[in-house]
Structure 1
Amino acid sequence: MFQIQHDDLNYAWIHGEKVFLKESMDVINPATGKPMARVPRGGKALTGQAIDAAAKAFPTWSKLPADQRAAYLLDWAERILADQERLAWLLSTEQGKPLDEARGEIYGTTVYIRWYAEEGKRAYGEIIPASRQGQRLMVFKEAIGVVGLIPPANFPSAIVANKVAPALAAGCTFVLKPAEQTPLIAIALLDHLMATGIPAGVANVVTGVAEEIGATLSADPRVRKIGFTGSTEVGKILMRQAADNVKRLTLELGGNAPVVVFPDANLEKAADAIMGNKFENCGQVCNGINLIYAHESIRAELVEKLAEKVASLKVGVGTEEGTQVGPMIDPSYRDKVETLVRDAVDKGAKLVVGGKRVSDEGLQDGYFYAPTLLDEVTADMELTKREIFGPVAPVLSFTDEAEVLARCNNTPYGLAAYVFTKDAARMFRMIDGLEVGNLAINGTSLANPQSPFGGVKESGIGRVGGHQGLEEYMELKYVALTLE
């Protein structure tokens, strides 16, 4: 069994050195509601120091050959993999997710790092045919500069990787600001990055007051880009702040993802896939299913299958083997879920399973909420309009394709959607009609490093993953060369 003392990770990384502050803030174990560690309570001054370090390191790092930058990334991935069990335990303890999910996330962290280590070698430029004799037209790709990276609390290891890895591969230096609830895993990951001998100032991490750190990153003109994953509300704040110096942004924001189950679908397969998506990470997934649209002819059968599966889920402390659903990350998330479920039931939704806090012996002080299934949900209920971000599966009935397509699109969000059908023509009609950035057909898995993930409408700007994710950290320089 691993352990952590309160001050084991109570430092920032700036210019290749650990930085300690007198003032610190507690990190809470969501399974107990009690402090498990402390980290520095940084703000404007600490963030400024980190930006100074990143700006100083940028000219040298950006000129380093891509294969040499890749070597640091590959070494980092190996060090993380060698420490997988301890990192998974740390992630599970501070964030709450089951140990098996945490192990998978740590492994996925290394997959992103390795992929971008190689993709950075393929940031090809372009030669364009000229329209004048004696002229050569060329396009170069260059690192954008210092970047501010702000990952969320729900996947605090994997999303560190899918921001840091492309930034480093592109030649950027960075300042990382982890979520207040989950800074420990970020610091532990940076420990391994520093152990590779990466040049001082290339990688920096600061913890503390989110609003102050975010505002400092946005205001400093040396920070040429912000990469943020989190709520749409905070994303809009960052957009307004970044406008003052026309800073580049990649924003992966909130969603209201529907899954549509047509009558020709394989219901057992659909039910299993819905369960794997909806209750992963206690439902705290940005592209997690928010609404289950079941055709009226198969709704009752699908609800029956889901009810059996939801009722069998084991809720418990994430670090205990066999736990399938851990606590929610933050008590405010649970309060929101309770409010949404209460509103739905008050307006006529049928509570099939769950719908309450978990107060079992040993769990009563944590942020636990029972996996919940609601039937007979209607469009006037608040949970159909907002991102639930919790272990609640609402089922709605529909009659025809045109109707359900219109209902899926009747939202300011457009992150993800899922469709189950065997009809190839219908698949393409849904692909064409759904206003989302990511869509899975006959499955609910979207995450991988080689594909561009991102939202439309109020669900974000830019893409994470794929060669597009690397290009988010690069500028194009066009050169018209006339030969004398």
Structure 2
Amino acid sequence: MGQEQEQERALLERVPSGLFIGGKWREAADGGTFAVHDPATGAVLTQVASATADDGRAALDAACDAFPAWSTTPARERAETLRRAFDLVQERADDLALLMTLEMGKPLAESRAEVTYGSEFLRWFSEEAARVQGRYGPTPEGTGRMIVTRHPVGPCYLVTPWNFPLAMATRKIAPALAAGCTVVVKPASATPLTTLLLATILEEAGVPAGVVNVITTRQTGPVSEAVLTDPRLRKLSFTGSTAVGQSLLRQAADGVLRTSMELGGNAPFIVFDDADLDAAVEGALAAKFRNTGQACTAANRFLVHSSVADDFARRVTERVEAFCTGRGTEEGVVIGPLIDDDAVERVHALVEDAVARGAVLRTGGAPLDGPGSFYPATILTDVAPGSDVLREEIFGPVLAISTFDDEDEAVRRANDTPHGLVAYVYTRSLTRGQRMIERLESGMVGVNAGVVSNAAAPFGGWKYSGLGREGGAEGIDEYLQTKYTLTGDPFA
């Protein structure tokens, strides 16, 4: 066994394999486990506990028991706990980055970037914890005094996706804890290890027993149903596909739960004829190929003005053909594996449909042989309207280009989707940029920027792309409820 393999094995041995409930590590109620795979090789990394519905209820029991004390803990103490967690994540950055690369496949450089991004939510919300405010003042009639106060919503169920295992966990856990809520976290079964390691860090930072509970499972439906149907639960936060989000919203309706939904996207990337093409190409590569295209914010439809489309396509193709594809731990790798073989088949089907409808394949376009779930960076041009690759979220390294002739057409086509998470615009015109901000039906817009995510900014979408916001000053509001009190006029 080489030095790298020994390092990987030693790290995996330090990651807990059980459920974290009430401050203790335990097996699943029925002793069940499931395998976690390396998508770059197909090899089994380790086995972790597979929670049952009873385990889900036990985790909620722990969160409910811990809620009275945590919700009344002074905000400064909660803030200092989150700040300690931030510091510890920084100290364990190498372990967390390597673990994400092993279980999810992203290049190690991107995993390190995710540690930086994900830890920032712990620091940001440590600062927001002490800023929760209310207000006091007379009624307009002068007959009494209004007191408006903010309170934690209660125990929360946080369901995180596989594509950003650390950042999606901290983006939900940090504001919940800052607000005084307790949580049950269910990470994706494909990538549970990062969340399990994060749980040990939160415990070391001083998060009390029961405040954060982590349940890993292959039985997602029964476990989630057990938690969601419990009347003590008061909040659901989910990141994932629109279809699953809709199903969870239906279940949440019976309990009238507060919900935050960060769902699918179909982001347009619009390049106008006056754009700085060098900047547009750099933005396109970042917006499309970050995380091997497996991001809800990934640019999905490239709408390029007909006068610059050929030049743009030539430039991105030259850059993409130089990409190195391989296991994320290898030096220089830009494109890692997709999460599994089903993802490869789905992406390839989208490419085949586009080509069958007349699209030109510039590079890539076929699954790679050998172990692992690899699909190469792919460029398509002349993509016809109605192609599946323009209508569905690709979630893979495929850059599909079609053309437009004027601004109105670009706006119409960009908005022609039930989704509205993010949109990207490249133009040198300030006034055009301002118009696009106003006209695009999207919760986030990048103007001459290919990456928009920031812990200090409100992340979320319009239409079928979700409800609520994560990050920014708005992020903590999702975990707070408002109480209004009227007192009689003290001078009467």
Alignment TM class, shorter chain as reference: over 0.9
Matched residue, 1:196: 205
Is 1:279 matched up with 2:286? no
**Counterpart position of 1:358:** 368
- Could you say which residue in structure 1 is the equivalent of 2:19? 12
2:434 corresponds to 1:424: no
- Alpha-carbon deviation of 1:321? 2.2
Query: Pick from 5, 8, 17: which aligns with 1:3?
Result: 8
2:223 corresponds, among 188, 206, 213, to 213
Matching residue of 2:49? 40
Per the alignment, residue 56 of structure 1 pairs with 65
One-letter code of the match for 1:366?
G
Partner of 1:103: 112
In the alignment, the residues of structure 2 paired with residue 50 and residue 250 of structure 1 have an alpha-carbon distance, to the nearest angstrom, of 20
Question: For residue 283 of structure 2, what is the amino acid of its counterpart?
Answer: A
Q: Which of 372, 379, 403 is the aligned partner of 2:409?
A: 403
The alpha-carbon deviation at position 197 of structure 1 amounts to 2.8
1:25 aligns with 2:25: no
| Alpha-carbon distance in structure 1 between the residues aligned to 2:141 and 2:304 | 61
The 8 Å contact of residues 56 and 227 in structure 2, kept in 1 or not, is answered as yes
Following TM superposition, by how much is the alpha carbon of 1:7 offset from its aligned partner in structure 2, in angstroms? 9.0
**Residues 325-344 of structure 1: pairs in structure 2 closer than 5 A:** 325-344=335-354
- Structure 1 CA distance, aligned partners of 2:342 and 2:146? 55
CA deviation string 1:118-144 (max 9, x = no partner): 111101111243134462101100000
What's 2:329 paired with?
A: 319
What does residue 232 of structure 2 align with?
222
Report what 1:141 is aligned to.
Answer: 150
Kept after mapping to 2: 8 A contact 1:6/1:36: no
- Alignment partners' CA distance in 2, 1:446 and 1:482: 48
The answer to whether structure 1 residue 389 and structure 2 residue 395 are counterparts is yes
CA distance in 1, matches of 2:401, 2:415: 17
**Distance in 2 (alpha carbons) for counterparts of 1:450 and 1:434:** 22
Paired with 2:130 and 2:69, the residues of 1 have a C-alpha distance of: 17
Tell me how many residue pairs correspond in the alignment: 480
Report if the CA contact (8 A) 2:273-2:427 is conserved.
yes
CA shift, 1:234, in A, is 0.3
1:174 has 2:180 as partner: no
Inter-partner Cα distance in structure 2 for 1:9 and 1:320? 26
Residues 1:233 and 2:223 are matched in the alignment: no
Residue 84 (structure 2) pairs with residue 75 (structure 1): yes
Q: Is the 8 A contact 2:15 2:196 kept in 1?
A: no
Q: Residue type of the partner of 1:3?
A: E
Residue in structure 1 matching 2:378, options 352, 356, 372: 372
* Native 8 Å contact 1:95 1:182 kept in 2: yes
Question: How far apart are residue 214 of structure 1 and its match?
Answer: 2.0
1:15 to partner: Cα distance: 0.5
User: Are the counterparts in 2 of residues 228 and 252 from structure 1 also a CA contact under 8 Å?
Assistant: yes
Structure 2 length normalisation: TM-score? 0.96
Q: Does 1:301 align with 2:286?
A: no
C-alpha contact 2:15 2:197 (8 A) present in aligned 1: no
Q: Contact 1:9–1:38 at 8 Å: present in 2 too?
A: no
TM, length-normalised to structure 1: 0.97
For 1:375, the aligned partner's letter is: T
1:482 Cα shift?
Answer: 1.4
For 1:156 and 1:59, how far apart are their aligned partners in 2? 29
Q: CA deviation at 1:9?
A: 2.4
Q: Distance in 2 between matches of 1:132 and 1:291?
A: 55
Task: Mark the CA change 1:133 to 1:402 in structure 2 (over 3 Å): closer, same or farther.
Answer: closer
1:374 CA displacement? 0.2
1:462 is aligned to 468
5 Å-filtered alignment, 1:153-172, equals 153-172=162-181
Q: Single out whichever of 52-61 and 77-86 deviates more from structure 2.
A: 77-86
Once residues 435 and 342 of structure 1 are traced to their aligned partners in structure 2, the CA distance between those partners, rounded to angstroms, is 29
Asked whether the equivalents of residues 296 and 399 of structure 1 are also in contact (C-alpha less than 8 Å), the reply is yes
What SS does the corresponding residue of 2:226 show, helix, strand or coil? helix
What amino acid is aligned across from residue 334 of structure 1 in structure 2?
A: V
2:127 alignment partner in structure 1: 118
Mapped to 2, the partners of 1:8 and 1:480 lie a distance apart of: 52
**Alpha-carbon deviations, 1:342-381, whole Å to 9, x = none?**
101111100001001122xxxx110000000000001121
CA contact (8 A) 1:7 1:37 kept: no
| Distance in 2 of aligned mates of 1:448 and 1:212 | 34
Q: Which amino acid aligns with 1:461?
A: L
C-alpha displacement of 1:443: 1.0
User: 1:28, 1:36 within 8 Å by CA — same for their partners in 2?
Assistant: yes
Structure-1 separation of matches of 2:15 and 2:424: 42
TM-superposed deviation, 1:213: 2.2
CA distance in 2, matches of 1:111, 1:446: 15
How far off its partner does 1:8 sit?
4.5
- Whether contact under 8 Å (2:158, 2:184) holds in the other structure is yes
Shift of 1:6: 7.0
| Native 8 Å contact 2:15 2:193 kept in 1 | no
Q: The residue matched to 2:259 in structure 1 has which SS?
A: strand
AA in 2 matched with 1:367:
S
AA matched with 1:165 = A
For 2:143 and 2:304, locate their aligned partners in 1 and report how far apart those are by CA, in whole Å: 64
| Structure 2 spans left out of the alignment, 5+ residues | none
User: In 1, Cα distance between the equivalents of 2:14 and 2:91?
Assistant: 23
Partner Cα distance (2:105, 2:282) in 1:
23
For 1:7 and 1:164, the matched residues in 2 are separated by 22
Cα deviation for residue 217 of structure 1 reads: 2.3
Distance (whole Å) between structure 2 residues aligned to residue 332 and residue 6 of structure 1: 29
1:422 offset after TM fit, Å? Answer: 1.1
Question: Which SS does the other structure have where 1:139 is aligned?
Answer: strand
**Residue 449 in 1 paired to residue 455 in 2?**
yes
| Cα contact 1:149–1:226 (8 A) shared by 2 | yes
In 2, the alpha carbon distance for the partners of 1:136 and 1:8 equals 54
1:233 maps to a residue whose letter is A
Query: Superposition RMSD on alpha carbons, in Å?
Result: 1.2
